[in-house]
Structure 1
Amino acid sequence: MPSDTKARIQAVARELFAEQGVRNTSLRQISERLGITKPALYYHFSSREDLVRSIVAPMVEECERFTRDRRAGDPRGLLDDYFELIWRHREVLVMMVRELSTLGELDLGTRMFEWRRELIALLLGDEITRAQQIRATVALGGMSDCAVEYAHLPLEEVKPTAVEAAAVVLGL
């Protein structure tokens, strides 16, 4: 269980990273916004990269658990649950989209494409046409884009339309 200070540091860092980008946010800015000393911040995180990893790790773990524990069948339910997952982590997605180098630094690009392939197999099976693969990529990518583009709106406003559009693209 993270300490309250550690959780506060992560929350402020997430906010600043999403606003300014990871590279444009210093540990000094984070500590000043929190009203703590830089050594106090270093007590919890050895570097900015360590802090970024701690922010991204819960999303990575949940995505891996989602694809590992999910069974094929009920594609609409899978789309619905997947949208909820990416919505929970929309701040992290905004942060990563704002600064794509974060994907490379954390070696997430390859992992994210692998999760997408696993999701497509769960949605449509292993034996699918190239056209089905492309439609599934558009559907899942579009849902992720909605979580980023409309992150400021209420879930109830975004989710039904995003999930329905993905289902239509997939022919569900």
Structure 2
Amino acid sequence: MPSDTKARIQAVARELFVQQGVQNTSLRQISDRLGITKPALYYHFASREDLVRSIVQPLVDDIESFVAGRAPGDARELLEDYFELIWRHRAVIVMMVQELSTLSYLDLGQRMFDWRRRLIALLLGPELTQAQHIRATVALGGMSDCAVEYAHLPPEEVKPAAVEAAAAALGL
């Protein structure tokens, strides 16, 4: 089934991209690992860039939905939900952190800053002091770092400490 093959290609590519980096992973390595021909891989993805975009796009879509679909409310609940989102996409975040050039595939650099600003406004409101803004940046960035650094641990060990630390940084 084509969608199964496409999902298998993405899974193997994601694994190799995390292990070796995007630029150090060839489409030949991906097709060899899958036991398919390179033309079969090209049937699903026109290029490595197309494949990378397809792997990163679900993270982008989820963050867009998250920041667009939220209203200001309980800050701790927002932190918990945000942690769940980044935990779910931790392999992609690891891939992007290890090779920052992946940010350019979907023009993510500026978009990530925009998302963070929108999240900070949801957490603390639109009128912030510089200190509040800095604390919120530390809180959100620290949670993302925890999802990457402790990705090998069960989420129930990481989430409570990460959320508590973020809440403390925010003064909640």
Fold equivalence (TM over 0.5): yes
Aligned to 2:26: 26
Deviations 1:8-55 (A, max 9, x none): 000000000011100000000000000000000000000000000000
Give the distance between the partners of 1:8 and 1:35, measured in 2 at CA. Answer: 11
Give the distance between the partners of 2:4 and 2:99, measured in 1 at CA. Answer: 27
Deviation at 1:116, TM superposition (A): 0.2
Give the counterpart letter for 2:166 in structure 1. A
Deviation at 1:3, TM superposition (A): 0.3
1:152 aligns with 2:149: no
Q: Secondary structure at the match of 2:85?
A: helix
Give the counterpart letter for 2:12 in structure 1. V
Give the counterpart letter for 2:3 in structure 1. S
Aligned to 1:61: 61
Where do 1:60-79 residues align within 5 Å? 60-79=60-79
Aligned to 1:127: 127
Deviation at 1:105, TM superposition (A): 3.5
Q: Secondary structure at the match of 2:64?
A: helix
Give the counterpart letter for 1:98 in structure 2. Q
Q: Which runs of 5+ in 2 are unaligned?
A: none
Deviation at 1:73, TM superposition (A): 1.1
Q: Secondary structure at the match of 1:3?
A: helix
* 105-114 or 48-57, larger mean C-alpha shift: 105-114
Give the TM-score normalised by the residue count of structure 2: 0.98
Give the distance between the partners of 1:144 and 1:93, measured in 2 at CA. Answer: 8
Give the TM-score normalised by the residue count of structure 1: 0.98
Deviations 1:82-136 (A, max 9, x none): 0000000000000000000111233101001100000000000000100000000
- Please identify runs of 4+ aligned residues in structure 1 that moved more than 6 A: none
Aligned positions, number:
171
Deviation at 1:152, TM superposition (A): 1.1
- Alpha-carbon contact 2:53-2:105 (below 8 Å) kept: no
Give the distance between the partners of 1:12 and 1:151, measured in 2 at CA. Answer: 18
Aligned to 1:8: 8
Give the distance between the partners of 2:51 and 2:165, measured in 1 at CA. Answer: 35
Where do 1:79-118 residues align within 5 Å? 79-118=79-118
Q: Which runs of 5+ in 1 are unaligned?
A: none
